[in-house]
Structure 1
Amino acid sequence: MGIEQLGYSVFFIVLTSAIAAIARRLNNKLSKDGLVKELIFEAIAAAELCGCCFELIIVADNFGVATYAVFLFTLTIWWGMQWGNATACPYTYMEQIVQGEVNFKEAALKIWAQLMGGCCVFRYVQLYWWLEMAETHEGRAFEECSADLKVNLYVGALIEGFATLCCRLASKVISEKDAKFGAFIDSFVGTSLVVAAFNYSGGYFNPVLATALKWGCAGNSALEHIIVYWIGSCTGAVLSVPLFKTSTFRNLFLTEKVKSE
């Protein structure tokens, strides 16, 4: 595949990010501060995430995982700069429930907004693919999708859970240390883990993303999808909360020394 074909993917990703940026500005200007405004921001972030990642599937299939990784690394940094308090990821709010920072109702509404944004964006993606301006999009708009899980169900859940645990712990350490190039380091860690898991579970580490891209695809039942991409990832994320607070972990990865209780 030539550079011209890759250009169509770049154009779509840039267009999607631009539309999301405009939507965020409009929401910030027109909506009153409060929960509704936050829900809209979550829906926009999830739509941008999933819309771009649909196209990243095309990139990975046609230009290799290395090219996919470069795109993902760059996009992760961009999203970190643009999303504000939105996360487009449900387990961040599950962590906050555990820590008593948000109530269950608010967390559930934000997760619902993420799912709506992530799942509804496919029609927009499908329209672009249907135009078939690039060879890489031919036949993709109405193609039957297949699941990415290539290992045993529980091994897949373990991979998604452990990698999510590592991602969340890395993010917490970087945040607390306030590293100079924290965004780049965080993106590098996340992208590396995605690439490592890519040929096993798909490396989603985000239930909304996995559901938007792969729910109902051939190869996994609904229950299997939930076990791997929801229970697996969310368990890993929630476990990061108490683990990060342990003296053993903090002594290993943070400069401070904490006495064991």
Structure 2
Amino acid sequence: MKPVIGLWFCSMKFVFQAMAVPPSGPQKTFLNTCLKLCRRAAGASTMLPSLVVSALFILLTLVLANGARRLLDRLVKDSFMRLLLQEAIAAFELCACCFELIIVADNFGVSAYGIFLFLLTIWWAFNWGDATACPYTHIEDVVLGNTDIRTAVLISAFELAGGMISFKYVQLLWSLEISETHRDRAFGECFTDLQVPVLYGAAIEGTATCLCRIASNALSEFKPRFSTAIDSFISTSLVVAAFDYSGGYFNPVLATSLKYGCRGNTLIEHVVVYWVGASLGAVASVFVYQHPTVQKLLFGHKEKEE
């Protein structure tokens, strides 16, 4: 355990060195395009528009996380240790970006939020590797017999640690108050996104999580063209649909990192909605997806490969 923690702090210490390693392939194209758009927007005014500032903050987070992953590949040889740290970095990246997406949603609407989330989800699918930044995927593995409870808990703990650390990083960036939309946000009071009774909220998070997981599993078997974009569109659509009711987190680590301690919910209510609800939805997706009726609906009379 001590070597894992030591490697985590080591990777954070040298993250800026990793940024010196130039990205390649789709990553380079994506980053260059974003930088060009940001430069054009910045050239229109002496003060950067608020939406551009949010985009730049998100871009900075993507670059830092990508640099940290590159360092892991160089420094960490043990595959399990590397996975733990990859999960922590992925959770940090996810939560830090979604903190900024709150700013986008509050000031530019849910549509802008949805577009950012759609693009980010595609980016994460191509860059996270085996990391998921989501505890219930490991619960699914336990149910399927692919891992044990101890491993699932340990991985989830690293994910939660990465997500919680992201708040301090975001707080630092927001405290700079580069744009109007960041003013008084770094140390301001936060409020829960749950706008419905607790059990309704848990049902929304659970049902949407179940649908997301079924869609992801089906796409992984069908392997259609643009499957990543299709998966991203489905999950983003469900998030937007649930946005005004439960917040549409569908991820316990994300919900806790962004909303733990916010006014409007007790700890028990938070756990019931965002941990129990989402986790039960994920477990249900395993059994629903394997049900003969669902398999016939999805695959018809086609025999699945063993």
Normalized against structure 1, the TM-score is what?
A: 0.97
Residue 159 of structure 2 is aligned to residue 114 of structure 1: yes
1:54-65 matched pairs, under 5 angstroms = 54-65=99-110
Mapped to 2, the partners of 1:220 and 1:186 lie a distance apart of 31
Where structure 2 has 5 or more consecutive residues not aligned to the other structure, the ranges are: 1-46
> What secondary structure sits across from 1:64 in the alignment?
helix
| Deviation (angstroms), 1:254 | 2.1
Q: Distance in 2 between matches of 1:214 and 1:179?
A: 36
CA offsets per residue over residues 154-181 of structure 1, 9 Å max, x none?
A: 0000000000000000000000111111
Query: Could you tell me how far 1:89 is from its partner in structure 2?
Result: 0.2
CA change 1:38–1:251 in 2 (3 A) is: same
Distance in 1 (alpha carbons) for counterparts of 2:269 and 2:187:
24
What is the CA–CA distance in structure 1 between the aligned matches of 2:63 and 2:135, rounded to whole Å?
Answer: 24
For structure 1, which runs of at least 5 residues remain unmatched after alignment? none
1:82 and 2:123 matched: no
Q: Deviation at 1:257?
A: 4.8
Paired residue secondary structure (1:169)? helix
Q: Are 1:135 and 2:180 an aligned pair?
A: yes
Deviations 1:126-149 (A, max 9, x none): 011000000000000001100000
In structure 1, the residue matched to 2:31 is none
2:115 maps to what in 1? 70
Shift in Å, 1:33: 2.5
Contact in 1 for aligned 2:48/2:179 (Cα 8 Å):
no
205, 208, 211: which is aligned to 1:166?
A: 211
Higher mean alpha-carbon deviation, 58-67 vs 100-109, is at 100-109
How much has 1:34 moved relative to structure 2?
Answer: 2.4
Q: TM-score, normalised by structure 2?
A: 0.83
Tell me the distance in 2 between the aligned counterparts of 1:34 and 1:187.
Answer: 28
Shift of 1:221: 0.2
Q: Which structure's relative contact order is higher, taking Cα pairs within 8 Å and 6+ residues apart?
A: 1
Letter in 2 for 1:122: F
Matched with 1:14 is 59
Matched with 2:272 is 227
CA deviations 1:100-140 (Å, max 9, x no partner) are: 00111111110000000000111110011000000000000
SS at match of 1:151: coil
Q: Are 1:173 and 1:254, in contact at CA under 8 Å, matched by a contact in 2?
A: no
Divergent runs of 4+, >3 A: 255-258
SS in 2 for 1:121: helix
Which residue is 1:146 aligned to? Answer: 191
Whole-Å separation in 1 of the counterparts to 2:123 and 2:181 = 25
* Structure 1 position 105 matched with structure 2 position 150: yes
User: CA separation in 2, counterparts of 1:199 and 1:3?
Assistant: 29
- Aligned-partner Cα distance in 1 for 2:104–2:113: 6
Q: Tell me the SS of whatever aligns to 1:195.
A: helix
Letter in 2 for 1:226: V
The structure 2 residue matched to 1:210, chosen from 250, 255, 263, is 255
The residue type paired with residue 223 of structure 2 is D
Farther off after superposition, 32-41 or 61-70: 32-41
Distance 2:299 2:176 in 1: 51
Question: 2-side partners of 1:240 and 1:3: how far apart?
Answer: 44
What does residue 28 of structure 1 align with?
A: 73
User: Structure 1: which amino acid aligns with 2:131?
Assistant: A
Structure 1 CA distance for aligned equivalents of residues 48 and 241 of structure 2: 26
Q: CA RMSD in A?
A: 1.1
**Identity across matched positions, percent:** 54
